[in-house]
A and B are shown apart, each in its own frame.
Chain A
Amino acid sequence: MKTEREIGVGDGRTEAELEAGRRSRVLMKGNEAIAEAAIQAGCDAYFGYPITPQAELLEWMARRMLELGRVFVQAESELGAINMALGAAATGARVMVSSSSPGISLMAEAMSYMAGSGTPMVLVNIMRAGPGLGGIGPSQSDYFQATKGHGHGDYRVPVLAPASIGEAMELLASSFEMAERYRTPVMLVADGILGQAMEPVDLRFRTPERHAFDWALTGAAGRPARIIKSIDLDPEVLEKRNLDLQHKYREIARHEVRWEAWQLDDAEFAIVAYGTAARVARTAITRARERGIKVGLFRPITLWPFPERELARLSRRLGGILTVELSSGQMVEDVRLAVEGRCPVAFHGRMGGLVPTPDEVLGALKALSGHHAHTPPPRVRGYEATELFEPDYPAHSGARRGGRR
């Protein structure tokens, strides 16, 4: 079994340091912990607009940022907020914006501009159920939006998906580093449960190092004027800009993929799930193992870049994969692309703000393993887009590697 520290989010702290951290834990609400993590990570400016279920993040920032003499602005809209962030980030400031699903839709425009112009920023989406105004319950139905098509144009944004409040705090610091290293917006997505829940967290924190930027707008004193822009009306020049972006995305895909492997060493089946769904899966896996089903968890931590190579390798020795999401089945498309038919891929999800219970997931697991053993699957409550497809070549074993690629 892998400990949490072996999964690539411990940032090289020693066991003694980690133990000291465990002793100095405090109980914090997810939204507030994420806000405080941003503060500890050196966030210079925060811009926001109230929306449930992330309002506490804005409120925490309102109090703390002003206390610290940093910048907080409650904008007139999510459009206002993200464009303020664009302006502040263009000067080299470390900037964060947060919202929830409908507000994130409004931010798509500026995200595209920031991706195109290479402006770093961290955007937090505490996801709620859609479409439209939807509801305020927890959801992962913004996976497509985050990983495939937020705004217009050929661009990608690294997307980090924590499964606990403590991990959200660690990933937030990484987000700033990634944003600045690659000059790109970075998204952190968590469903409403992680925003509203409380967990013990370690507040002693590592602030990412600051670098001088040779692109930041500071006034053209003693140097040529700088321009931050995404427009290029000459197709040749614009294609070059796009090729540079694609090169950047390949670099990100090469260096930043993160995932967790849990109980996969002897597994015949795997659940692929992220965020809250992965925690439900853990409990379901524990129950399944009590019943003799050898199953483990593959948890993507970066949704883009998706850990496709690792999953592909794993799929060679599995009898089947169950993808669990708080959606109609979005990530499952990436799972199937990675698996390429090497084993059956089933799906179980809930929508509208509902979360599958561990027993529900256990039922879907039994269906998958039962199907594999050619017994009729029991009926499972919830939305299934199972479309179990059997590969016409047998699954075979292969070496498994965990950790950061």
Chain B
Amino acid sequence: MTLHTPGSATPATAAARLIYHKPDVLLDRSTHYCPGCGHGIVHRLLAEVLTELDLPAHTIAVAPVGCAVFAYDYLNVDFVEAPHGRAPAVATGIRRVRPEAFVLTYQGDGDLAAIGTAEIVHAAARGERITAIFVNNGIYGMTGGQMAPTTLLGQRTTSSPNGRDAALMGYPIRITEMLAQLPGVAYAARGTVADVPAIGRLKAMIKRACQIQLNSGGFAIVEALSNCPVGWGMTPLQSLEHLKGPVVDAYPLGVIVDRGLGADTHPAAGTACPAPSHPEA
């Protein structure tokens, strides 16, 4: 692009430097997500990482059931729809017959941590070379804000109207920590979309999880703590404050396990689970 500067003797020929643009893989559509929802941010980060690693043409992604059910309307890669919770099994099938493909799952917390527990645990246990993006907003958003396994104690939802009571409804599940115990898991980390610095760190985690797959590292999962203003009954700003406060307190941020990039570490020789390291600290 040539800039014509009024009043100068010669036209300025210095090219404008493009410092920020929408990745092509992110389709130019308005999403169905509610105002203030974090899913759009995670989609964006994923699109940036896929582009930076030159992956869109090699990617086969698995869409969940839940708010992200239409992920394929926003990300321009091959997509298959999985039944509720079964994305890790579907991804396993793809992985095994398409060793050259980049295989990605995108699931919410109801999908991954409730109905799909068996599938995620066993895909992780087998060390399937897939990258799992796990968006945790502590609620069933699409069906109208019911309690999820990740809902905080005391949190009111449409199916826990008096707040989640541990005696009746049990405790929130930290499933990413559970998965990190498994030697087949090369990488497990938790980030959040709560503010701009955290979004930067979340992107680094997603990128690492993708690079691990490319380097035959094994199963990689990134949990993104996200908000649900509508389901939580808050304004978007309130929901972000809530996210940074009680949600992050219940689900500590950081890399939970990183067993390395390469095939030589898979399945990981050491089975002990390292203590969570906090890049923020």
List the interface of chain A (C-beta within 8 A of B): 44-45, 47, 71, 73, 75-77, 79-81, 83-91, 93, 95, 109-110, 113, 117, 217-222, 225-231
Contact = CB atoms under 8 A, between A and B. Distances in A.
Given A93-B97, A110-B86, A217-B80, A87 B92 contact: yes
Contacts of B94: 87-88, 90-91, 217
22 contacts: A45-B96, A45-B97, A73-B96, A73-B126, A75-B92, A76-B89, A76-B121, A80-B89, A83-B93, A84-B92, A84-B96, A87-B62, A88-B94, A89-B93, A90-B93, A91-B94, A217-B79, A218-B98, A219-B101, A222-B57, A225-B78, A228-B81
A217 B60 contact: yes
Contacts of A76: 89, 118-119, 121-122
Contacts of A113: 81-83
Interface in B195-211: none
Interface in B53-101: 56-60, 62-63, 69, 72, 76-83, 86, 89-98, 101
Interface in B88-131: 89-98, 101-102, 118-119, 121-122, 126
Contact of A84 (B77, B78, B90): B90
Contacts of A84: 89-90, 92-93, 96
Contacts of A226: 78-79
Interface string B25-64: 0000000000000000000000000000000111110110
Given A221-B57, A228-B80, A79 B89 contact: yes
> Which 7 pairs from chain A and chain B are nearest by CB?
A87-B93, A88-B93, A83-B89, A87-B90, A84-B93, A221-B57, A76-B122
Contacts of A44: 97
Contacts of A77: 118
Interface residues of B, number: 35
B76 A220 contact: yes
A86 B93 CA distance: 7
Contact of A230 (B78, B81, B90, B92): B81
Nearest to B92: A84
Contacts of B89: 75-76, 79-81, 83-84, 86-87
A357 to B, nearest CB: 43
A77 B121 CA distance: 12
Between B93, B101, B121, the greatest number of chain A beta carbons within 10 A of the residue's beta carbon is seen for: B93
Given A79-B119, A80-B119, A220-B76, A91 B63 contact: no
Interface string B153-195: 0000000000000000000000000000000000000000000
Interface of B: 56-60, 62-63, 69, 72, 76-83, 86, 89-98, 101-102, 118-119, 121-122, 126
Contacts of A109: 83
Contact of B80 (A87, A95, A219, A222): A87
Nearest to B95: A87
Contact of B79 (A79, A86, A225): A225
A229 B72 contact: yes
A91 B118 CA distance: 23
Contacts of A87: 62, 80, 82, 89-95
Nearest to B58: A219
A56 B278 CA distance: 49
B76 A91 contact: no
Nearest to B93: A87
Given A80-B122, A87-B62, A226-B78, A219 B90 contact: no
Between B76, B98, B126, the greatest number of chain A beta carbons within 10 A of the residue's beta carbon is seen for: B98
A93 B119 CA distance: 21
Contacts of B82: 83, 86-87, 113
Given A225-B76, A228-B79, A228-B80, A79 B86 contact: yes
A83 B119 contact: yes
Given A45-B96, A84-B90, A227 B57 contact: no
A91 B122 contact: no
B79 A227 contact: yes
Nearest to A217: B78
B46 to A, nearest CB: 14
B81 A229 contact: yes
Contacts of A231: 69, 81
Nearest to B121: A76
Contacts of A217: 60, 78-80, 94
A227 B79 CA distance: 5
B33 to A, nearest CB: 15
A95 to B, nearest CB: 8
B118 A79 contact: yes
